[in-house]
Structure 1
Amino acid sequence: MEWFWPTLAIVCIVEGLGPLLMPNRWRLYMLQVSQQPSNQLRQVGGILVVVGSVSLFYLLH
């Protein structure tokens, strides 16, 4: 569990770079994402969870 908080901090840093450095472009991107069908967003989210889980598994073992 000692890896959880540092990992969460890195996620916050990475997620915050877009709005910090390019707020107008980030806003347009979020607008485009919000207009996508729910099924497409669900598929992208599922793929990201699987890729992240597999990557984490291989990085930790």
Structure 2
Amino acid sequence: MQDFFAAIGLVLVIEGLVYGGFPGLARKLAGDMLSMPENALWIAGLAAIAAGVGIVWLARGG
């Protein structure tokens, strides 16, 4: 459970860096997502999940 909370904390840090450090870029990316087809968002989401699982697996000693 401790690892879960650490992971949530890291997600918040990364998102905070984007919104706090580059608010114009965050706004542009959000606008771009609105114009993307749902299928492209679905594929990008699945790719992000796969990459995340792979990174965790490697970090844990795979």
TM-score after normalising by structure 2: 0.86
1:39 paired residue number: 39
Matches within 5 A, 1:9-20: 9-20=9-20
Give the CA deviation at 1:34. Answer: 1.6
Give the SS at the match of 1:3: helix
For 1:22 and 1:51, the matched residues in 2 are separated by: 24
For 1:17 and 1:24, the matched residues in 2 are separated by: 12
Give the CA deviation at 1:25. Answer: 2.3
Give the SS at the match of 2:2: coil
- Flag structure 1 segments of 5+ consecutive residues without an equivalent: none
Q: Identical aligned pairs, as a percentage?
A: 21
- Flag structure 2 segments of 5+ consecutive residues without an equivalent: none
Give the CA deviation at 1:8. Answer: 0.7
Give the CA deviation at 1:40. Answer: 0.3
Moved over 2 A (4+): none
